[in-house]
Amino acid sequence: DTEVTQTPKHLVMGMTNKKSLKCEQHMGHRAMYWYKQKAKKPPELMFVYSYEKLSINESVPSRFSPECPNSSLLNLHLHALQPEDSALYLCASSQAARWVEGYTFGSGTRLTVV
């Protein structure tokens, strides 16, 4: 299995809703990442988990809450989002200590906040 699987593919939520994005990989990668991508812009790093521990939080608002329950699974919990949070959310994973192998990305969740 050489894929990163993200669910759901599309999500529409109200500003008072609570929802979660899910990311799963079975490649044995021990580093996992959340990126946010607005239209016609590059992905921006949000969070990094290394060996299931949060290692980087790029000053992301607390309405985004990441979780890494195990080495294969990464979640992003969403609460009280704003319309400007509408974007494509990409998950990625990489081999720890084999950075030249690059990062494998999921196909993303397109989030719309109404």
Partner 1 sequence: AQTVTQSQPEMSVQEAETVTLSCTYDTSENNYYLFWYKQPPSRQMILVIRQEAYKQQNATENRFSVNFQKAAKSFSLKISDSQLGDTAMYFCAVTRGGADGLTFGKGTHLIIQP
Q: How far is the CB of 23 from partner 1 (least distance, A)?
A: 13
- 103 touches partner 1 (CB under 8 A): yes
For partner 1, give the closer residue by CB, 17 or 105: 105
- 101 touches partner 1 (CB under 8 A): yes
DSSP letter for 52, please.
T
Per CB under 8 A, the list member of 17, 20, 75, 104 interacting with partner 1 is 104
Per CB under 8 A, the list member of 94, 111, 112, 113 interacting with partner 1 is 94
Closest CA to 110 of 33, 9, 2, 6: 9
Q: Cβ atoms within 10 A of the Cβ of 23, count? A: 26
Rounded to whole angstroms, the Cα distance separating 80 from 18 reads 7
